[in-house]
Structures are given as structure tokens and as C-alpha cells.
Chain A
Amino acid sequence: MRVPRALFPLLSLALLLGLWEIAALWGGGRVLPTPGAVALALAREAESGALAHHLGVTLLRVLAAFVLALSVGVALGVPMGRSPLCDRLFGPWLVFFLNLPALVVIVLAYVWFGLTEAAAVGAVAVNKIPNTIVLVRAGARTIDEGLIEMARVYRMSRLDRLRHVLLPHLAPTIAAAARSGLALIWKIVLVVELLGRGDGVGFQINLLFQTFDVAGILAYSVAFVAVILLLEYGVLQPIERRCSRWRRSHAEA
């Protein structure tokens, strides 16, 4: 039997749900509710409006931290990839920040800057920035020097070099950083919310944890994963496809 390609993700998802259902029926009870129970919890939260509110707040924090982390990461990663001096000077800092535990950054941010929105978003971004720098630095190192020379001979402006030489070259790197970034960032945002915010998915999960409402916890997780999947397929991938149009063979173009 031939299964259409597009159905594979659905099949794979159905398999996961099936396994979950079996595990829940076998030894679940309160600790592992069935998918049905989670769906009910989801409906309950959606109806009260709590789901939309907390998802929205968390999503905004994720996006703010994401944009901040990517732009700072690119702005610092490019010079480090292009200039050996810059790399030697700041490379050790990078190792330091890469190995700084997320929890430490978050706690310190709250201690130093108070329990504010800026501290929360900033702390999340700081957790992602070193990783973005590492990726972008590696990407910037591999640029074709011939194209740089060409840009110099034709006196392209700095802005044009950035837009038409450097950034297109870095596009796959930035896409990779964005992919891994989105997943990492939303996980850290939850911790930030749990420790020092009065709303958001992380805050809500903390409440549900105190009442031992596992169905509710899973409902929020599933909902947010769905939002991230939507971003991945609805936004990131179309942008990536557009950026890599030139790679496709002529027959497809």
C-alpha cells in the first residue's frame, strides 16, 4: 500500500497519540491523563479565556526575546567571524556565556533589574545570544572572499554589501539559528514566567502544578507546541524557501 507523502506527519502523530492513550490506560490515573482528558482540560481553559490570554502573553515574550537574540547575535557574530582580532578578543567571553546556566541568568536579571518585563525578556535573550553568535560566526567565516572583492571593486555601499552579499550568504545559518532558537526560547520563557511573572504559560503551569492538575499542564504544553509548529510551518519555512529560491534547479524555478 502506498501512503501519500503528506499524510506521514499525521500518521506519525496518530501513532504518538495511540501510544499515549495505551500508556495512560495501562498505568495512568491522575499522573498521566489520557489524550481525551487533556483535550477536555484544553476546552475548559479555552472557554474561560485563560488559554488565549496566557498563550498570547507568552508568545509576545517569545517573539520579543527571539528578535532581540537574533539581531544581537548577528550583529556580534558577523564581526567575530570576519575579524580574527575580534574573535580572539571576545571568544573567551563567548565560552563563558555559553556555559552560564539559564537559571543563573534569569535569577541575576531579576535581582539586578527587578521583576520586570524587560528583565524577563532580556534574560531569555541572553540565554540564546551566545548560541546564535557561534552559528553566525561560523557562517561568516565561510563567505566567498571573491564576492567581497567584487563588492569592493564595484564600490557597493556598506548597506548594499550587508543586504546583497552578507545576509543572503548567512540566510541558511540564520534560519538554523531561528529554528533552534524558537524551541529553546519558549522553554526558557516558561522558566522566566514561573520565577517572576504574574501571567503566561509558565505562570499558569506553576499554578496547575500546585493543584497537581497534570491534564491542565499537558493542555498548556500541547497548545503552545501547536503555536510553535504553526510559526515553524507558517512563517519560518516559507521565509526560508523564499530565501533559497536561487538554489533550486531551473526546472523547478
Chain B
Amino acid sequence: MLRLEIRSKRFGAVEALRGFALTAARGEVVALVGPSGCGKTTALGVVAGLDRDFDGTLSVAPGPDGRPPRIGMVFQEPRLLPWRTVRQNLALALPRALRRDPRIDATLALLDLSALADRFPGHLSLGMARRAALARALVVDPDLLLLDEPLVSLDEVTAQRLRALLARVLDGRPRTALLVTHNLREALALADRLLILAPSPGRVVAEIPIATPRAARDDAMVEALRADLLARADPVFRLLA
């Protein structure tokens, strides 16, 4: 479904990524985990097609019937159009013919946003705005879902709720997804496979598959997995503590 190979990606004199390889099978959720500055978001920008200035190759499989793959992306800041309502923000992510499609209201309902549909983003809390951004990513029925720190800077309760919601969404209809996060618990709760990144230059230093189905992972299990990882001898895992 997705195959990315970056031999080198530079910002001027700084090398952000080197020898970075990433693949995702159809329906697989892959997490890029690492401390800030390890190039996670840079890699995500390359996958999204926003950054073509890199030495390497990117291939994303076309959708069924051969159309170009649809991408749904949740940015770190929600990036909603402040002058359009929540519903309009969803509609504008769709091609013109689908702007009045019932899927918009269905997606709003799925993310518990129906009551906020006619609000402007400036009148939403960060948690609500993230949900709206997630709704926009889902409404396009993406072949590839890109999530950039979707739970960062939320209070604990809101983050928990959104995490549960994400888990439900990812299981509801299997989707290929790439999750970027610095939070190991979040990655362990949501991903099928973790890629651990180390900084300067950013590169993958470990790969950890998780066999347990998402629905079966409770807090205790996530904690156990985390403790197990942090106890490993490799100093790489100390970056994540």
C-alpha cells in the first residue's frame, strides 16, 4: 500500500532523515515513535505529498478502480478553515459532487459533533477542533490516513476519550494509517506496528510488531507492553521514557 524510502532529506545544512524506510500493508496502522526532532513529522509531510524535495522514492498504491489514492490527514494544529463552519469544513474536503452527501452528517454523528456542526472553529475547544479535523480526514473515506500527534496538548480525560474514539474508527473499517507520536502509550494502544526513531539524523532504530488486536488492549496491557520495552537493554528505548 505504502512504500517510502528516504536516502536523505535535508533542510539546508541539517540532515533531518537518513536511510529511512517505511512500508505499510493495506489496512495496517503503523506508528512512528520518537522524541521531538527525530523527523517524524518531516516523514509524514513527504508521505502526504507536501514535501517533494528529498532524495529517495515514495509510492502509494492507487485506490480501487485505479484512481489516485485519497489521503485524510489530521495535522498537529487542527487547520480548520476559521471562516467556515465545522460542516462546511468537512464538505470542502470532498469533491464538489459530494458536498451535500449524507456521509457528512454521518461522520459528524460518528465523532459526536452533530451539535457543533454549525459552529465556527474559533468557538471550539482544542479537543473539539481535533475531532472536527479527524472527521474531515474520515469523511473523504481515505485510502491512507495520516495522524500527526493527534492527542498532543489535550487534557488527560479528553486525550483518553479521543484515543478510544480513534481505536474504534481504525477498527470500524480497516484503514491504512500512519500515526506520528512522541507518546509510547498512545502508539501501543493504537498501532499494529511501531517504528522507533532516533534523532540527528532521523532514522529507524527498532521495529516492534504488536500482535494483540486493538480492541483487546486495555490500559493494563499497554502499561505492561511499555514497561517491557523500556526495560530492554538497547539505550534507544530510554529515549522514549
Contacts and interface: CB of A to CB of B under 8 A. Distances in A.
B79 A164 contact: no
Nearest to A247: B122
Contacts of A43: none
B73 to A, nearest CB: 5
A152 interface: yes
A215 to B, nearest CB: 48
B92 A154 contact: yes
Interface stretch (A44-52, A142-150, A190-198): A142-150
Given A164-B92, A247-B122, A150 B84 contact: no
B123 A250 contact: yes
Contact of A164 (B45, B49, B84, B140): B84
B79 A147 contact: yes
B157 interface: no
B81 A149 contact: no
Contacts of A150: 73, 75, 79
Given A160-B92, A168-B83, A146 B77 contact: yes
Nearest to B76: A146
Grouping DSSP codes into helix (H, G, I), strand (E, B) and loop, the B interface class, with mixed when no group exceeds half, is loop
B194 to A, nearest CB: 24
Contacts, number: 56
Given A149-B50, A164-B92, A253 B123 contact: yes
Interface string B118-149: 01111100000000000010001000001000
A1 interface: no
Contacts of B96: 157, 160
A166 to B, nearest CB: 11
A115 interface: no
A20 to B, nearest CB: 43
Nearest to A157: B96
B93 A146 contact: no
Given A156-B93, A160-B92, 6 more contacts: A146-B79, A149-B45, A149-B50, A153-B48, A164-B84, A246-B122
Interface of A: 144, 146-147, 149-150, 152-154, 156-157, 160, 164-165, 168-169, 171, 243, 245-247, 249-250, 253
